[in-house]
Amino acid sequence: MNVHAPALAKAHEFDERTSAFAGDVIEDLAQHPKRLSPKYFYDATGSELFEQITRLPEYYPTRTELGILRARASEIAAIVPKGAALVEFGAGASTKVRLLLEHCDLAAYVPVDISGDFLNAQADALRKDFPGLAIYPVAADFTTPFDLPAAVAGMPKVGFFPGSTLGNFEPHEACAFLRSAREILGRAARMVIGVDLEKNERVLYDAYNDAAGVTARFNLNVLARINRELGGNFDLSAFMHRSIYNRERHRIEMHLIARKAQTVRILGRSFSFRPGETIHTESSYKYSLERFGALARGSGWTVRESWTDDEKMFSVHALVASD
Ligand code: AVI
């Protein structure tokens, strides 16, 4: 037995992840306009800051979606076949899925997330509260094809994708994700998905430019992560956070704006910034019920039912795989 195998495997995984991060950063900062992928927000600090965002008074999506899931739990449970396996894409805090686990007659729960350590901790906590439920965590990037555990092969599958994470995908990526989810979940699949809606621009602006500055810290943390993990020398005080609503494209855009001319070094490369030049770090698309319906239909799904809160801020949809 090689006693060093686990440590070597961990180092290997670390190297692979870091080099993918390095490759993306070098490529994306060489673009005009400069950009960074939102998937790199979520290191330990970024995940904690995101949890804080979900509790901000201005950030309505989390509490509104939870309200819909609570109010409609038994209607949602009605579309979930008895003995199904619930597959959650990008399992985060377990508050939302607990609602489904409590109301549906499930045989298995498969949380899928890139962070294996986080997944296992969540799974252990759920096993205590749902002793009769089989839980099979899968450590994988859910935006690319992955295999479901063999143990759920014979069960009907229901996907769960809350939080309007779909909104962080470009429209073509959202379509590709929905198609791939249908493929992974198989014939007769169903899916419960949360989607943020278009609304008053002031409400949107405030949700992504909160008064306490948590979203600013979340955005700037990606530069701190580049410094920490890739040896970059970003001066965080030389950038400011700004979110704007792009009406034509129906999306909030988060940017980091250079306060002055500067040159940043990362892994032996130089990136120069003009004063006011921005790095586009995230888009958060907002849908109308019609546009989401068209996206779902074009991606192999039929909308069985849609629920919103009274003010039509957020929506939750039950999808059924089209034949
Ligand atoms: C994870 N995602 C759905 C969040 C959003 O609203 O687009 C990420 C976020 N960015 C800034 N605040 C929250």
Q: Where are the alpha helices (DSSP H) in the chain?
A: 5-29, 44-54, 61-71, 73-78, 95-103, 116-129, 171-185, 201-208, 214-230, 289-298
Residue 94 identity: S
DSSP element (H, E) containing 142 = none
Angle subtended at Cα 140 by Cα 161 and Cα 23, rounded to the nearest 5 degrees:
110
Confidence grade of residue 1 (pLDDT, cut at 50, 70, 90): very low
184-240 confidence digits (pLDDT tens): 999 899 999 999 999 999 999 999 999 999 999 999 999 999 999 999 999 999 999
**Residue 284 alpha carbon to ligand 1 centre in Å:** 7
Mean pLDDT over 123-141 rounds to 94
**Residue 311 alpha carbon to ligand 1 centre in Å:** 20
Asked whether the bond before 33 is cis by omega within 30 degrees of 0, the reply is yes
pLDDT at residue 3 is higher than 80 = no
Mean pLDDT over 288-311 rounds to 98
Model pLDDT, residue 10:
52
- 171-185 helix and 289-298 helix, angle to the nearest 10 degrees: 50
**Residue 53 alpha carbon to ligand 1 centre in Å:** 8
What's the whole-model pTM score? 0.93
pLDDT at residue 149 is higher than 90 = yes
Model pLDDT, residue 7:
53
Q: Compare 42 and 8 and report the one with higher pLDDT.
A: 42
Residue with the smallest CA separation from ligand 1 atom 3 is 165
Model pLDDT, residue 9:
52
Pick from 53, 66, 242 the residue to mutate for probing ligand 1's pocket: most ligand atoms within 8 Å of its CB: 53
Q: Residues with beta carbon inside 6 Å of ligand 1?
A: 53, 61, 163-165, 167-168, 208, 215, 282, 284
190, burial (CB in 10 Å: exposed 0-12, middle 13-18, buried 19+) = buried
- Average pLDDT of the chain to the nearest whole number: 94
